[in-house]
Amino acid sequence: MHPIPRIATVLAGLLLASACAVTPDEPLEQARIGNVGVVDAIDGNFVLPVDAQGRINGADRAAALRTLADFGSPATTRARIAGAPPAARTELVRLLADAGVPPGHVSFGDDPAASAPASGGVRILLQRFEVTPPACAGWPDIQKNYVENGPLLPLGCVTNRNLQLMVEDPRDLVIGRTLGPADGAREAGAVARYQADKVKPFISTTATGGRGATLSKQ
């Protein structure tokens, strides 16, 4: 065999081996995991004394309001109450509403996870969700791990980060909300107005631009 082809073959083998040995700055799977963000469930509970008539004294009420405030984000907090006598339910919902917890986020139940305290009163279990959005790579890193037909990391990461920062309740990233009752009359009325060409226009302010163009701001 001629020495030159032999040398060329050896060099090609060395280049191929070195190319296969290159380790990317960040493994593809790790990069994708970091591209998603994390949603954590934050749980807590406390006992609230309630008498047989369903009344809560002033000191206990103030303490409960402080506990709820310290738990954080009352608008996205859900409360499950165990051991509540029927006479106390209205007052408990009012207490939670005063703390900023929507009445629709309050439920009552005596399942084992929400067992009532042995000393009396009621146990209030709290839960809210907290999102930690991904820390996206910079544009200079756009070519990192570009080894297959997956999404480009900065683009997919920015989409996830924007969604997680804009969502009203991080719980929505885990489970959807139950639809409210339908209003058939309202929906039928909208169809009837559309068919009669009587749809109400959007409220807008207009300004005339150059060359007769009309600019609309809605």
pLDDT recorded at residue 117: 58
Contact 70, 37 (CB under 8 A): no
User: Strands (DSSP E) along 104-145, which ranges?
Assistant: 106-108, 122-132
Q: Which residue has the tokens 């506990």?
A: 67
Q: Is 70 exposed, middle or buried (0-12, 13-18, 19+ CB in 10 A)?
A: exposed
Contact 77, 71 (CB under 8 A): yes
List the pLDDT tens digit at each of the 218 positions of the chain: 555 555 555 445 544 444 444 444 444 444 445 667 889 999 999 999 998 788 899 999 999 999 999 999 999 999 999 988 888 999 999 999 999 999 999 999 865 555 555 566 899 999 999 999 988 766 655 555 555 555 555 567 888 888 899 999 999 988 888 887 888 999 999 999 999 999 888 776 665 544 444 444 44
What pLDDT score was predicted for residue 205? 65
Rounded Cα distance between 71 and 127, Å, is: 9
Containing 46, the helix (H) or strand (E) segment is: strand 38-48
Using a 10 angstrom Cβ sphere, with 0-12 exposed, 13-18 middle and 19 or more buried, the burial of residue 32 is middle
Diameter of the chain measured on Cα atoms: 104
Q: Are 142 and 153 in contact (CB under 8 A)?
A: yes
pLDDT number for residue 87: 87
Is 0.95 surpassed by the pTM of this model?
no
User: b vs e for 91-126, b when ≥16 Cβ sit within 10 Å of the residue's Cβ?
Assistant: bbbebbeebebeeebbebeeeeebeeeeeebbbbbb
